[in-house]
Amino acid sequence: MPQPSAPRRNPGRPPRFTREEVIGAARRIVAEEGVERLTMRRLATEVGSTPMALYHHVRNKEELLVLLLDDHAARTLRRTAMPAEPRERIVTAAAAIHRALADCPWIVEVLTADDLLSASALWFVEQIVDGFVACGLTPERAVHGYRAIWYYTAGEIVVRTAADRRRADDDRPTYREQVFTDLAPGELPRLAGLADAWGPLTAEDTYLDGLRALVEGLTERG
């Protein structure tokens, strides 16, 4: 586990720092220690100041997280020409969001609370909702379509990240592997027949295949 950054000791009057420096320090803490360790007190230690001085730049942890979300979106989500075909536009926009979040899975943990949102990512949400409307869905059902894609995207990242972390931290057989070893072919013939292949198959990256199937199913009802 990475060790916390050494506090920067600055005797006397706390130094002046910019909002960009605050965001950079917060980004380091989250990357090295996890989002749960990001507190105003911990951040103050990182920049060599006091929690009170931070409030000149951010009101609270929630605003700090929003700034981090916007910072990450601005650095990783680039607006590009979207396909004219609406289904492909939905897939392209959703895939862009997935790529940005997969590189920084802690953001998914924050976003799944459903209270915080990056304004920088809204252009991509617009493409998804507008694509559904262009496929014949009402605006209300287009929002439901976006939510289905978001649940699928966030869930895929959370599950894959947890599995990767499990494999990195412990190379012992998982509970699932132990159970699949003893499956009874007479009771669960399909699963028993796939027992040896189940791990490799479920480790494959099938996000885009699932996304296209989801979009196709949602738009066929339009």
Burial class (CB in 10 A: 0-12, 13-18, 19+), 52: exposed
Q: For each of the chain's 222 residues, which pLDDT tens digit applies?
A: 445 554 454 444 555 778 888 888 988 898 888 888 888 889 988 888 888 888 888 888 888 888 888 888 888 888 889 999 999 999 999 999 998 888 777 777 777 665 556 777 889 999 999 999 999 999 999 999 999 999 999 899 888 887 777 777 777 777 888 898 889 999 999 999 999 999 899 889 999 999 999 999 999 965
| Residue 34 and residue 106 in contact, taking contact as beta carbons nearer than 8 Å | yes
Q: Which 8-state DSSP code applies to residue 13?
A: S
Tokens representing residue 168 in the block: 């990195």
Distance between CA 60 and CA 62 in Å, rounded? 5
| Residue 150 and residue 128 in contact, taking contact as beta carbons nearer than 8 Å | no
* Helix 139-169, helix 122-134: angle, nearest 10: 130
Distance between CA 192 and CA 195 in Å, rounded? 5
Tokens representing residue 192 in the block: 């028993």
